[in-house]
Structure 1
Amino acid sequence: MASDFKQIAILGVGLIGGSIGLAALKRKIADKVVGIGRSEEKLAKAKRQGCITEATTQWQAGIRGADLVVVCSPVESIVPLVEQLVPFCQPGTIITDAGSTKQKIVDTLHLSESIRGRKEVYFVGSHPMAGSDKSGSDHATADLFQNRVTIVTPVAETERTAKATVRKFWESLGSEVHEMSPTEHDAVVAATSHMPHVIAALVAASTPEAMLQFTSTGWADTTRIAAGDIDLWRQILTTNRGHVLQSLANFEKLLAAFRTSLEAGQEEHWIKLLKQGKHHRDIVGS
């Protein structure tokens, strides 16, 4: 059975990029997976781990012959990387990304002269809703995307065949794929990912250091994501500031209502909020 892609190039072979490579090779989606990065040592390790079949620090060489390029870099570097890549891609190449924010990336790239001048090279924004507070290919797994949501963010200018190919790609890795606009995506992830990260970090920060020895599983579960890379989260929160602020405002209203009812001894009011939280958590499940 023929593979979907002769060659996939992955820029950034960390947790996400490494897991994409592992899954693509395990599921025989690609004949060859080329890892592109700045560290020869890290690339060599990713190759030993089976995340990629070839490695290079020269991205022009890495994308040569690729029919799919997946950019797995921090969000602030995605636009300049794609703009540099496009002139060197072969006709028909599809480029997608794994960035946690989408509106600024998609809007900028669809107005970019480098892409508009290469109509046979296509960009389709995407975001796999999978990951960990851990980083690096050491933590990559072939089933990272299995039964996890990936959001694809086409716009009016997105080429239909390219969109369908990117959708099928993520589905082939085991994802449940949803399509929405870049703006809607950023509002959704602000509420479901970005704001929760801020809250987890603040819970951890508000705990006196002298009390940390007495924390248990509840504190650890609540604050796990606060261990994520700080600069990565700086970029995410900066590029999605407006939607995160709105999500924080919604959270602040609930927190104020909880505090007011607790202070007033209005047990039925704050218990109602706890029940709402439990109901939402039960819907999501383990």
Structure 2
Amino acid sequence: MVGVGLIGGSIGMALRDRGLVDEVVGVGRDMGSLEQARARGAIDRATTDMADGVSRADVVVVCTPVGRVAEDVRRAADAAPRGALITDAGSTKRAIVEAVDKLPRAAEMFVAAHPLAGSERSGSAFARADLYEGRVCVLTPSTRTAPDRLRRAREFWSSLGTRIIEMGPAEHDEVVAYTSHLPHALAASLAATVPADWLPLAAGAFRDGTRVAGADTELWTAIFRDNRGPLMNAVGKLQDRLSSLKYALMNDDEESIRRWWNDARARRSLFESQKFPEA
């Protein structure tokens, strides 16, 4: 496990809880944080040395920030057995896949993945073994992806309880710009729009609408930058939607306001009908 925060720690706990591995090795930069993850039950052994951590690995999961994933995949590929599977948990895929595809050894071993699970909280202290149960994991193979590694990636992520969906890296980034990155941007915008001295009057709608605005700043800065093109398009669509409400309000157009709300209500009902587990 390269990177043992919430995501990596939860993978480690799931693997150990399900008895799927003999040993989970955590690789990171800070031994103090790694020891906390070990005490939490997320890993069996900790090291800050990549080569030491992956030299006997069957599977390497890179759970570092998106800007570091490709380089960490390269380092892991150089040190891991040639037959190992390397996968990741990055929230964006196009740039990662393009970078790894330029590295023959790494491309041979790597299958890009994005488990759609997480929390506004960070760190192994909040990891849990059931985080991936019933969740979707998107695999984004490229033309360089080895068929046997893709099969093993399906098996690995399925073993954690996920449902597998496959699509291209660019398509993935466009979709999650709307379904994940835009909601985070909207939550942050809402949280920053309400004056601080009005917060005593904020209740459930504000709490629910801004929950993910408590997520790690550096993590989301990196994600927004890496997926800035699709996210800009998504922000534009949201602006159009808000503009239509503003225009209806300016004209006191009751029917347009009702239609505006009903469209959203129907889409929300469709989402609820899929019965996704709570984050």
TM-score range, shorter chain: over 0.9
Q: How far, CA to CA, are the matches of 1:91 and 1:80 in structure 2? A: 17
Partner amino acid, structure 2, of 1:135: S
The aligned counterpart of 2:162 is: 175
CA shift at 1:234, angstroms?
0.7
Q: How far, CA to CA, are the matches of 1:91 and 1:122 in structure 2? A: 7
Q: How far, CA to CA, are the matches of 1:101 and 1:135 in structure 2? A: 18
Q: 2:217 aligns with which of 218, 230, 244?
A: 230
TM-score by length of 1: 0.93
Q: How far, CA to CA, are the matches of 1:118 and 1:211 in structure 2? A: 52
CA shift at 1:85, angstroms?
2.1
**Identical amino acids, percent of aligned pairs:** 39
Q: How far, CA to CA, are the matches of 1:118 and 1:202 in structure 2? A: 39
Runs of 4 or more consecutive aligned structure 1 residues displaced over 4 Å after TM superposition:
none
Alignment of 1:181-192 (within 5 A): 181-192=168-179
The aligned counterpart of 2:102 is: 111
- Tell me whether 1:13 sits opposite 2:36 in the alignment: no
Q: How far, CA to CA, are the matches of 1:45 and 1:137 in structure 2? A: 7
The aligned counterpart of 1:82 is: 73
- Tell me whether 1:27 sits opposite 2:18 in the alignment: yes
The aligned counterpart of 1:3 is: none
Alignment of 1:88-127 (within 5 A): 88-112=79-103, 116-117=104-105, 121-127=108-114
Alignment of 1:1-286 (within 5 A): 10-112=1-103, 116-117=104-105, 121-285=108-272
TM-score by length of 2: 0.95
Q: How far, CA to CA, are the matches of 2:64 and 2:255 in structure 1? A: 47
Q: How far, CA to CA, are the matches of 2:74 and 2:31 in structure 1? A: 24
Task: Provide Cα deviations, 1:183-207, integer angstroms capped at 9, x if missing partner.
Answer: 0100010000001111110111111
Q: How far, CA to CA, are the matches of 2:106 and 2:246 in structure 1? A: 56
Partner amino acid, structure 2, of 1:42: S
Q: How far, CA to CA, are the matches of 2:127 and 2:270 in structure 1? A: 28
The aligned counterpart of 1:6 is: none
Note closer, same or farther for the CA distance 1:118–1:50 as it changes in structure 2 (3 Å cut): closer
Partner amino acid, structure 2, of 1:162: R
Give secondary structure in 2 for the equivalent of 1:31: coil
Task: Provide Cα deviations, 1:151-193, integer angstroms capped at 9, x if missing partner.
Answer: 0000111101101111111111011110000001000100000
Q: How far, CA to CA, are the matches of 1:217 and 1:145 in structure 2? A: 26
Q: How far, CA to CA, are the matches of 2:217 and 2:48 in structure 1? A: 25
Task: Provide Cα deviations, 1:50-96, integer angstroms capped at 9, x if missing partner.
Answer: 11111111111000100110000000011111122222111201111
| Runs of 5+ unmatched residues, structure 2 | 273-277
The aligned counterpart of 2:275 is: none
Q: How far, CA to CA, are the matches of 2:129 and 2:74 in structure 1? A: 29
Q: How far, CA to CA, are the matches of 1:139 and 1:64 in structure 2? A: 28
| Runs of 5+ unmatched residues, structure 1 | 1-9
CA RMSD across the alignment: 1.2
CA shift at 1:257, angstroms?
0.7
Note closer, same or farther for the CA distance 1:118–1:150 as it changes in structure 2 (3 Å cut): closer
Bigger share in strand: 1
Note closer, same or farther for the CA distance 1:170–1:274 as it changes in structure 2 (3 Å cut): same
Q: How far, CA to CA, are the matches of 2:96 and 2:198 in structure 1? A: 42
Give secondary structure in 2 for the equivalent of 1:151: strand
Note closer, same or farther for the CA distance 1:44–1:146 as it changes in structure 2 (3 Å cut): same
Task: Provide Cα deviations, 1:19-39, integer angstroms capped at 9, x if missing partner.
Answer: 000101111221111011112
CA shift at 1:117, angstroms?
4.5
The aligned counterpart of 1:4 is: none
